[in-house]
Structure 1
Amino acid sequence: MTPLRSMVCVGILGAHHIPVSGIMADEPSIRLMVDTDLDQVFSLIDQENWGWEFHEIRRIFALDTRNSIVAEINGEIVGLITLINFGKTAFIVHVIVKEGWRKKRLGARMMRDALQNLDSLDVDNVELHAMPDVAEFYTQFGFKRVEEISFFCKHPGTSGQQNTVDATSDAEFRLLDLEETLSMSECQSRMMGFHESDFQYAMKTDPPEYPVARLVGSSVTAMLIARKGSELNPLGPWFMNHPDKKTARAMLRSAIARLPDRRTDVGISTSNELAKDIFLDEGFSLMTEGVVRVSRSARAVSPFPRELLAIGHLGVI
């Protein structure tokens, strides 16, 4: 199976340290992640064989330099949580404890401290994608199961079912500039159930290389965000008003044609059969299923709608 790969500190953090009560001298201390930690952070993530690239870890840190944390003892990082606070919504990307330090409540300590900090910043929704065997761990912190997520990938040279798509001109699909992309914030956030300001923050902080839109007249009726990586290209989020398979497949082809010729990854809501059919028909193969989307929220969180054909690679984006 191909590996899964699938984000102003104030008050309580002090000088890059999160206070933890009752910690013995021979236990790891928990502090904010800093730029000089990234080599060790990537090494620990890479040991899990999830397929993450170093530049992606740097991108996550660049999106939010003030909330990811590490557990450290004698200069060695033995645990970490990477996360992105988009404003009202935060997405936890990694929760890792090094072998030898597991089953010692280190993961629980890190989660409590990370969530305490987010609560102090008035974040009202924290989400993450958990592997099925550890999803139960997060319930003790108030997380609730929302839905299951499936991940698909397409390798270079893999073709789709050519004979099932009518000829559709790529002329109806074009790239949006940043201002146009930001103008879609209300629609995108409504589809995903996040705050509009979260999406705007993400787009301004990390503008996508290929925001492909479908236009009907002067109206954008669909938008697919595609990005390029050094080894793979992540797709999503992707929304389409009144989605149909023919138009969606043509739009997907238009987006992929703009990307470097390397593996392309995407995540979808497992219950979205239309999205599943679209990606399978276009030559994608199932990579991982049963990943659990969980949420700790002050508001109601619903499964993603049928119109959302692909989810964000890092939660909101």
Structure 2
Amino acid sequence: MPGRTRPIEKCRITCMTPADIAFAVSLTDREGWGFFGSDFETRLRLYPSGSFVARHGRESVGMISSVTYGTYAYLGNLIVREGHRGHGIGAELMLHAVNYLLGKGVTTIELDGVWGAVTMYRKLGFRDKHLSLRFSRPADKRAVEPMNSAIPATPIIALDRKLVGVARQRLLRAALTDRRNSLVVQGSPVSAYALIRERAGGFSMVAPIIAPSWRQVPPLVDSVIKHYGDRPLWVGVPEPNYRMSQFLLSCGFVSREPSLRMYYGTRLNYEKHVYGIFGPAIG
């Protein structure tokens, strides 16, 4: 297990509770990450001991979240409040979360590292995997065709497990049954899907995008734009799926600053059928 650091600013780290949700949303709002309070409510319901808050006296000063998919886990939302950065609090939160996950039998931990934190992650034992690319598309002023999708969650979850190989059914089911979100599929029975997830701040994430082969991806993305292009769209793409990056650029998306997908423990290579990630904080 990673060793402990000695933060200059002595903090105690506790599990996040519902009373911390407003604080968590305030941090993600400052970063422009588009979280709703219900996102954290879902995390606490599905993974009640997996998110943590750093406290300095009576003040909450930082947080980190995790989701667990069997022996694979994903870390996200590592944020320390301005004015408390540079004192080792972020590293202490990371160590606390990593040791918690290892104690649960997790063998692979991943994250999307922003460049300012990559050195810290490497010192903690994380290794570089590939770039996690970002693309956004402005809202299209032309009218879009409304779409009603009544696909049950069960076949989507089964397809995701088959193609990705990661047991993320609990969080995926929560996203599929959230009335703010929408679904675009290919095939009957369903053989590929894209989930459009409404985010705070007026944009939508097309996340995830899962397909067994590249030929199903362009019509899937075209359908997303046709039905949901009247809002700003965001897509995260694993670097190995370079054709997806080129296709998005041809569809009016623009490239944004990428992050770095990193891993701790056993490396898993599941990206072959992942043309859009679930999210920077959930894998």
Q: TM-score, normalized by length of structure 2? A: 0.83
Distance 1:257 1:102 in 2: 43
Matches within 5 A, 1:127-276: 127-157=110-140, 176-190=151-165, 194=166, 198-207=167-176, 209-215=181-187, 218-230=188-200, 231-244=202-215, 247-259=216-228, 261-276=230-245
Cα drift, residue 151 of structure 1: 0.7
Are residues 61 and 283 of structure 1, via their aligned partners in 2, closer, same or farther at CA, if it must alter by over 3 Å? Answer: farther
Aligned twin of 1:123: 106
- For each residue in 1:44-83, what CA deviation from the matched residue of structure 2 results, as whole angstroms up to 9, or x when unmatched? 3333x33323344444444433211111123211111122
Cα drift, residue 274 of structure 1: 0.8
Are residues 62 and 240 of structure 1, via their aligned partners in 2, closer, same or farther at CA, if it must alter by over 3 Å? Answer: same
Cα drift, residue 126 of structure 1: 1.2
What RMSD over aligned residues (CA atoms) do the two structures have, in Å? 3.0
Q: 1:237 is aligned with what amino acid?
A: P
Give secondary structure in 2 for the equivalent of 1:275.
Answer: helix
Preserved CA contact (<8 Å) 2:141 2:230: no
Q: 1:284 aligns with which of 228, 248, 253?
A: 253
Cα drift, residue 279 of structure 1: 1.1
Are residues 229 and 133 of structure 1, via their aligned partners in 2, closer, same or farther at CA, if it must alter by over 3 Å? Answer: closer
Preserved CA contact (<8 Å) 1:175 1:210: no
Preserved CA contact (<8 Å) 2:135 2:256: yes
- For each residue in 1:69-114, what CA deviation from the matched residue of structure 2 results, as whole angstroms up to 9, or x when unmatched? 1111232111111222233222111112223322322222221111
Q: TM-score, normalized by length of structure 1? A: 0.75
Distance 1:113 1:236 in 2: 28
Preserved CA contact (<8 Å) 2:67 2:282: no
Are residues 82 and 35 of structure 1, via their aligned partners in 2, closer, same or farther at CA, if it must alter by over 3 Å? Answer: same
Q: 1:51 is aligned with what amino acid?
A: W
Aligned twin of 1:14: none
Aligned twin of 1:54: 36
Question: Across the two proteins, how many residue pairs are aligned to each other?
Answer: 271
Aligned twin of 1:73: 56
Q: 2:192 is aligned with what amino acid?
A: A
Q: 2:248 is aligned with what amino acid?
A: F
Aligned twin of 2:278: 312
- For each residue in 1:122-157, what CA deviation from the matched residue of structure 2 results, as whole angstroms up to 9, or x when unmatched? 122211101123212112322111100111111211
Preserved CA contact (<8 Å) 2:207 2:276: yes
Aligned sequence identity (%): 20
Q: Which runs of 5+ in 1 are unaligned?
A: 1-19, 160-170
Q: Which runs of 5+ in 2 are unaligned?
A: none
Cα drift, residue 35 of structure 1: 0.8
Are residues 257 and 177 of structure 1, via their aligned partners in 2, closer, same or farther at CA, if it must alter by over 3 Å? Answer: farther
